[in-house]
Structure 1
Amino acid sequence: MVTCSVVAQALQVLCLLTIGSWNFRVYAHAQDHDHSNHHQSLDKPDGSDLKFKHTAKDGQAMEGNRRSSKETLTFQDKTEILNFMIGPEDFFQQYISKRKPVLITDSIHHWPAYTLWSEEYLTEKLGDETVSVKVDSQEQMSMKKMTMKEFIENYKSDPLTLSQEVYPSLDGDISVPTCLKCASLFQGSFTTDMQISSGRSRSSLHVEEKDALLCALKGNQSVTLVSPLESRNLRADEGNPIGTSPIDITQNIDSISSDRYMTFDMHEGDMLYIPSLWWRQLSLHQGGHIIVMVSWILKTGILTGNIDHNKFKNPGSKLSFSDALIQYEEVMQQVGRTAVRPQCQDEDTFMNDYAFESAKDETHDGPDFNEDEDCHFDRDHQLSPCLLPEDACDAGEEELECTRYVLEYCYEWEDRGCVVDLPQALNRLSHAELEDLQHGHSHLEP
């Protein structure tokens, strides 16, 4: 079990910093705030207006400009680009365990979605579905409900963006990437989200909780990634909501260490691996865009190892969000160095062959975790949060009490769960929930 003494020290005052509304499950439901939906309009188009005509043969490039195989990107020549797909063993050993972003070019041309997801197809499949759409005007951002048909008819002329989970009827159009075909690595549950927009916009600088592959079905974009180790320079503690940065990285890149950020130029058919809790900002070029995000959680025990306790210092009187992100990255990099190469068997499957966690799924409305679900905390400890009664972490005030209990537990005991789950928990909170947990002590008992 991975432990870290700095957590017990730092969480003494984290109970005052406090967090709220924590889903204790290893994989989280859709967040209350969607960082990727905070967009800024661009004054100028950031690329050419694309033609979305694909060739009939899988694997061939579509019409439009493509990079040459010799083209290089930023990040001091350390940015990695693969012009071929790799297997899950190499993907895990070279990139996931090392938390190293990589762009895999021309890697999703074989997906049915790549050729099928036209405006006509989406209207036919989902035209009557009611969707929530972001309206991004110069004055303010707002949400509006409309049918998918209405959105398709208007999104290119109006500043509209659709961002949500992929509908089950479309899951069969998405192939499981070869680099993820490994039952021994992943929980067996993937999350897929889709975004459709007209481009000429830029997302906020934000973090997401899971490792993910960003897949460009339509349109070109630039993606800037920044290591969590730069969280203080990114003013992470000033973000509102938590998990966003108040700065535009494209305008403040000089403040970041040159070996801790990179910018990728993505074209249609490319996929980009983004490690969990890395800062990312997307700049969509002009023209229609369809993006699919495939995210996952590794099985418990895949990344294990001994933590060098001397490496971590008490950050002071308060463990901030920045501190939590930095500590998380340092721990995960250290553990990743001793990761064992997995043994995987290829599986030619599609996303609809997997069990999906979904905010639309009403079959999982019980407590946040139970005996059948993985829990990062030590089950052998008699006070482990994993041993709380099943109804102790129901939504509402019970969930708040559950969070209090975990904070007090982490102050008293060294536990891997305190290190691994803390940044994700902080990322889900509102400022009101932070204030709420500054008072009282938990009355829960396992």
Structure 2
Amino acid sequence: MNAGFQLTDVPRIERISKEDFFEQYVKPQKPVVIDHLIEDWPAYEKWSLEYIQEKAGEKTVPLFDSNEKISSKYKFNEPHKYMKMRNYIDLIKKGPTSYRIFLYHLLKEVPALQKDFSYPDIGLRLLKQIPMLFFGGEGSKVFMHYDIDFANILHFHFHGKKRCIIFPPSETKYLYKVPHALISREDIDFSHPDYEKFPALKNASGYVAELNHGETLYMPEGYWHQMTYLTPGFSMSLRAAPRHLPNLSKALYNLFFMRHFDNAMRKWKGQDWIDYKNRQAVKRTNRKNHIS
């Protein structure tokens, strides 16, 4: 019997050509950390919490509370509160906090920041309309999930250190996926999992990476990821549409049906719908793994 799930360090490379990146990582759908992909960006030298505070301090930003359990009070990806960016950065610089910024289109709100980066010529057709920024204070976490659009993701980290635990789609059967959602059970602590409560996790195999300023994590289509900010910091993601037809179909289903169906059920059934989905996550996963 496995003692617990296995996490292997994400492979690291210094630099890579677009041809090698495509052949070695995109085609086989394998993750990698690239240490020196963006050293020619102005952002590599300029982007810090202080710089963002200077350029975007007066912008109102949506905050998500890592300690707030998913409930029928909120729609899919609905923020828990709002705050001025200046005040939020002051908050995360003071000490640990559970508040984070998730999927915020700050580059659209502050066009000047677009001059600080370019789109890497790395063999992916990156979508130029939706670069997204993510911020967190020390100890804030993003629960285990996969992205609604099944994108290929380049995730660039700035200012501080961040731990990323990722699993390929093949491991979904062990991760207690919540039905009609993009998440695993939110009460699973992937740093210290409870195998008595969630025994199928023992069979999962994934990867872990700690990202420092200026490093890039490539996550292939449909990869599960859970992020923990070890220090205050922020990241930016660039995305490329899924290349595999089944993943494109799943993305369209998620975007045009699943999230709207889930919001409607939350409104109709309330907390009973959330509780039902959490029970089903356990029942379905244990049944697939022949766990009684």
Q: Tell whether the structures are fold-level matches, with TM greater than 0.5.
A: yes
Residue in 2 aligned with 1:117?
47
Cα distance in structure 2, aligned partners of 1:119 and 1:82: 27
Cα deviation, residue 199, structure 1: 2.0
Cα distance in structure 1, aligned partners of 2:60 and 2:136: 17
**1:273 maps to 2:218:** yes
Cα distance in structure 1, aligned partners of 2:223 and 2:49: 32
Residue in 2 aligned with 1:195?
134
**1:102 maps to 2:42:** no
| C-alpha distance 159-270 of structure 1, shift in aligned 2 (>3 A) | same
**1:156 maps to 2:88:** no
> Retained in 2: the 8 A contact 1:123–1:152?
yes
> Retained in 2: the 8 A contact 1:190–1:295?
no
Residue in 2 aligned with 1:81?
12
Cα distance in structure 1, aligned partners of 2:56 and 2:266: 41
Residue from 193, 201, 208 that aligns with 1:255: 201
**1:296 maps to 2:233:** no
Give the TM-score normalised by the residue count of structure 2.
0.69
Secondary structure class of the residue paired with 1:292: strand
Cα distance in structure 1, aligned partners of 2:241 and 2:65: 32
Residue from 97, 111, 133 that aligns with 2:63: 133
Cα deviation, residue 434, structure 1: 7.0
Cα distance in structure 1, aligned partners of 2:22 and 2:181: 29
> Retained in 2: the 8 A contact 1:112–1:173?
yes
- 1:91-148 Cα distance to aligned partner (Å, 9 max, x none): 1121111111011114333321222223443233222222222345578996222222
> Which structure's residues are more often strand, by fraction?
2
Give the TM-score normalised by the residue count of structure 1.
0.47
Cα deviation, residue 256, structure 1: 4.8
> Retained in 1: the 8 A contact 2:56–2:86?
yes
Cα distance in structure 1, aligned partners of 2:22 and 2:122: 8
Structure 2: which 5+ residue stretches go unaligned? 1-5, 72-78, 268-292
Percent of residue pairs bearing the same amino acid type = 22
Residue in 2 aligned with 1:228?
169
> Retained in 1: the 8 A contact 2:98–2:141?
no
Cα deviation, residue 433, structure 1: 4.6
Cα distance in structure 2, aligned partners of 1:278 and 1:140: 21
Secondary structure class of the residue paired with 2:118: coil
Cα distance in structure 2, aligned partners of 1:144 and 1:432: 19
Count of equivalent residues: 237
Residue from 247, 254, 258 that aligns with 1:426: 254
> Which structure's residues are more often helix, by fraction?
2
Q: How does 1:35-54 map to 2 (within 5 A)?
A: none
- 1:388-427 Cα distance to aligned partner (Å, 9 max, x none): xxxxxxxxxxxxxxxxxxxxxxxxxxxx5x6631255237
| C-alpha distance 262-140 of structure 1, shift in aligned 2 (>3 A) | closer
Cα distance in structure 2, aligned partners of 1:242 and 1:139: 14
Q: CA RMSD in A?
A: 3.2
> Retained in 2: the 8 A contact 1:156–1:197?
no
